Chain A
Amino acid sequence: MLLNVENLRVSYGNIKALHGISFNIDAGEIVTIIGANGAGKSTTLRAVSRMVPVETGSVMTCMGKDLLKFPADKVVSQLGITHVPEGRRLFGNLTVMENLQLATFARKDRDNVKKDYLRVFEIFPRLEERKSQASGTLSGGEQQMLAIGRAFMSGRRLMLLDEPSMGLSPLLMMNVFQALKEINRQEGTAILLVEQNARLALKFSKKGYVLENGNLVLEGASETLINDPEVKKAYLGG
């Protein structure tokens, strides 16, 4: 098992965001968490990437190691878990290339880094064309590509994706998800996808969880969930 989460609790002040959820991801697996706005999807990703403190009793292990012992930057550089946050959050003042370079800050394997740049440009040829452009001037689709490329450069055991479809046209969305599938297939990168577009997420993934008000209420194979009458009614528009 790649990632195992048990009894994960997170609060923002007095507001409880996650009430002790448990889930797991196998190596190379694509898993999705679907749920309404404010259900706690983003919080789950932030907890795994150690961007929000978790409450005592929460257990998170990555390949047997206690994830809670790693600070946020080491989760990326030592465990290979990368988080593509909602809204991309690129460094708009840096060029496309610099955004990719920065993601290799902690890496020592120079030769592989060079190969990885080529891989990113192979997957997203548009990024190579815009290499020396400030990333703030990219279109929404290109920004999402760069955000994924940046995550690819910093580590690729597990990618946490927060609403990658947001603000993209259907065609661009297809491109992005195809690229993700390719990364998953070729690099064996596991993906934890959080989406409001539940249909897309369930089609893309193998296993799914349904999150409601900070509790996981349903889990199962994605193809089962997509046909579940409750899920259909609540998240797939009937």
Chain B
Amino acid sequence: MTVNFLMQNLINALQWGSFYALIALGYSMVYSILMLFNFAHGDIFMVGAYIGLGVSLGLLSLFGSGAAAVLPGWVVLVLTILISMFLTAFVGIIVERVGYRPLREAPRASAAITGLMIGIILETANILFLGGSRLKFPQLIESVTYNIGGVYVTNKKIMIVLVSIGLMLALHQLITRTKWGMAMRAMAYDYVVVPLVGVPMNTIAAMTFAIGSALAAAAGILFGLAYPVLDPYMGVSFGWKAFVAAILGGRGSIMGACIAGFMLGFIEIMTVPAIQIMNRLFSLNIGSNFRDLIAYSIVLLILIFRPHGLFGQAYSAKLRL
């Protein structure tokens, strides 16, 4: 059990956590302004990944691939991410407009059910149109492995972590420096009053869904690069775990979502070596398929001691004027 081994797992955890953090941001942003969880968000992540697949295949056929490539792979990748984020933003806008806006005044449970139904619709639509078989995500950039003092790092892992952190910093700038971000912060504090100062609440809500969905699309593409097989239910399995990260971070907390996303990645990845160590020390025989059971028991324990999550606040919402 060496430092190298720990470092290796730490890097894997950073990559794994990047996906969680990017998706968790979408849950938290929407919750912070509308006080509802968009339960379709995991499936928007799935749709984003598939849109990324379509866009990248389209770009590859346009600009050629392999030896005949006109554009270098990383350019295609950047274009894929940007175009897919843009397109998936519209999926988010449509989900808000069709699924949530008509239910703004309805009981919260109705809105939650709507999210689940939209999720099912997106999954079924995928199966209907794409046949439901798993699809391979094209590897847009050549994989290069670096050996840094015995720790193996691929260029993809570095890229995934850096792009994720870059997107988080960009989001931070947007929230703290622009009037749109200001409106989002105001809405998070007291959304009922927002129209009273002349701010179009529906526009801000739509924009929040758009940004959250765009981040989920970025997560989907980065996920596709690291684990190049997409399936229609990836949003359910993976998206729900990101939802756990959003709760762990504290409902509606943007920073909490980022930190808890990485933390969840860390807990999940580190559980496996921890199991191995335990097995060796106590001559046990626990399989690594116990990973999620153990990892999520840890999350449960954290929530027992911090029921509002890491950065959540216990506050009573003002729902009317």
Instruction: Report whether B179 and A105 are in contact in the complex, using a CB–CB cutoff of 8 Å.
Output: yes
From residue B295, how far is it (CB to closest CB) to chain A in Å? Answer: 33
Q: Which of A50, A85, A105 contacts B198 (CB 8 A)?
A: A105
CB <8 Å contact, A101 and B182: yes
Contacts of A71 in B (CB 8 A): 195, 200
Q: List the A side residues contacting B194 at CB < 8 Å.
A: 73
Taking the complex as formed, is B294 at the interface, i.e. its CB lies under 8 A from any CB of chain A? no
Instruction: Indicate with 1 or 0, residue by residue over A35-51, a CB within 8 angstroms of chain B CB atoms.
Output: 00000000000100111
Picked from B185, B189, B192, B197, the residue with its CB within 8 Å of the CB of A105 is: B197
Given A73-B199, A105-B198, A91:B321 Cβ within 8 A: no
B183 contacts A by Cβ under 8 Å: yes
Interface check A34, CB cutoff 8 A:
no
**Interface flag for A92 (CB, 8 Å):** yes
B201 at the interface (CB under 8 A from A): yes
Interface of chain A, main secondary structure? loop
Q: Tell me, rounded to whole Å, the shortest Cβ–Cβ distance linking B194 to chain A.
A: 8
Contact among A49, A92, A93, A101 with B196 in the assembled complex (CB-CB below 8 Å): A49
Given A71-B195, A106-B200, A150-B197, is A92 in contact with B321 using a C-beta cutoff of 8 Å? no
**Contacting pair A103 B197 (CB below 8 A):** yes
Selected contact of B189 from candidates A49, A50, A91, A104, CB within 8 Å: A91
Asked if B185 and A51 sit within 8 Å, CB to CB, the answer is: no
Chain A positions within 8 Å of B190 at CB level: 89, 91-92
B189–A106 touching, CB < 8 Å:
no
Asked whether any CB of chain B lies closer than 8 Å to the CB of A155, the reply is yes
Contact A93/B185 with A85-B193, A101-B179 known, Cβ cut-off 8 Å: yes
Nearest-CB distance from A10 to chain B (Å)? 13
CB < 8 Å neighbour of A94 from B189, B192, B199, B321:
B189
Q: Quick one: which of B70-115 are within 8 Å of A by CB?
A: none
Distance of A187 Cα from B188 Cα, bound (Å): 33
Interchain CA distance A72-B104 in the complex, whole Å = 15
From the candidates A50, A74, A154, name the one contacting B197 in the complex (CB within 8 A). A154
A106 to B179, CA, bound (A): 10
Docked pose: A197 CA to B197 CA in angstroms: 26
List B residues 203-241 near A (Cβ within 8 Å): none
B186 CB–A CB distance under 8 Å: yes
10 pairs from A and B in contact (CB 8 Å cutoff): A71-B200, A76-B195, A85-B196, A85-B321, A89-B193, A93-B188, A94-B182, A105-B198, A106-B198, A150-B197
With A51-B192, A91-B185, A101-B179 given, can you name 5 additional A-B contacts, CB distance below 8 Å? Answer: A76-B196, A89-B196, A91-B186, A98-B182, A102-B179
